[in-house]
Amino acid sequence: MKQQIVIIGGGTTFDTYKKYIAFLKKRKIGLDKLLRPHQGWKNHLQKELGENFEVLRPRMPNGTNARYEEWRIWFERIIPFFSKKVILIGHSLGGIFLAKYLAENNISKKIKATILVAAPFDDEDRDEENKESLADFNLSPSLEKFAEQGGTIYLIQSKNDPSVPFEQLGKYKKALPNAKTMIFENRGHFKQETFPEIIRLIKKLK
């Protein structure tokens, strides 16, 4: 039986529609990105893992102006397709989504592992110029239920992440004392083309 992987990617969220419109007006855009859309490690995961794995990459609703309730509804529609002992991966906003969902809801499927890559914990620790709101993605006060049903939890963070301050990892470790950590020096927000370390981790979990 194939080992199933489910990846929830990142996105942006805003307190108000006005802030979202302002973001669209000032967001950097270049011809290079239009000619060559980003093809990061998540796009290549299936090929690199091979035929013994099945990688699901649900496209979450309205990723540029994400709303937790919309993501929750869509995620729950996907859960029936999960196999036994699924491995969940959440990158950036997708990471805090998984932490929040599994802390607040019972899931009917057995989870082998949950891997959070560059996941924000809260909207603190940033300077005012780069401060972003997590809006309705803010975590519950307790992550106890997440720890109980999330399987083996891995926290992956880079010290030079420009989007999620490294201090956020410490907050996750305090809330999830049994979680395992993988720390990198210079991977930024993990927008790289390949991610061999996560490939090895997943294969070790199979």
pLDDT above 80: residue 128: no
**Residue 43 confidence (pLDDT):** 87
Mean pLDDT of 133-159: 95
Query: What's the pLDDT score for residue 40?
Result: 86
Q: What string of H, E and C letters represents the secondary structure of 171-194?
A: HHHHHCCCCEEEEECCCCCCCCCC
* pLDDT score recorded for residue 186: 94
- Torsion 119-98-151-201 (CA) sign: negative
- Over the stretch 3-41, which tens digit does the pLDDT of each residue have? 999 999 999 999 889 999 998 998 888 777 666 666 689
Per-residue confidence band for 139, with pLDDT thresholds at 50, 70 and 90: very high
Tens digits of per-residue pLDDT, 178-201? 999 999 999 999 998 899 999 999
CA 68-132-64 angle, to 5 degrees, is 50
Please tell me the predicted confidence (pLDDT) of residue 5: 96
Residues β-bridged to residue 195: none
CB atoms within 10 A of CB 35: 7
Amino acid letter, residue 23: F
Average predicted confidence (pLDDT) for the chain: 91
Domain 3-205, CATH: 3.40.50.1820
What angle is formed at CA 58 by the lines to CA 6 and CA 89, rounded to 5 degrees?
30
The pLDDT value recorded for residue 156 is 97
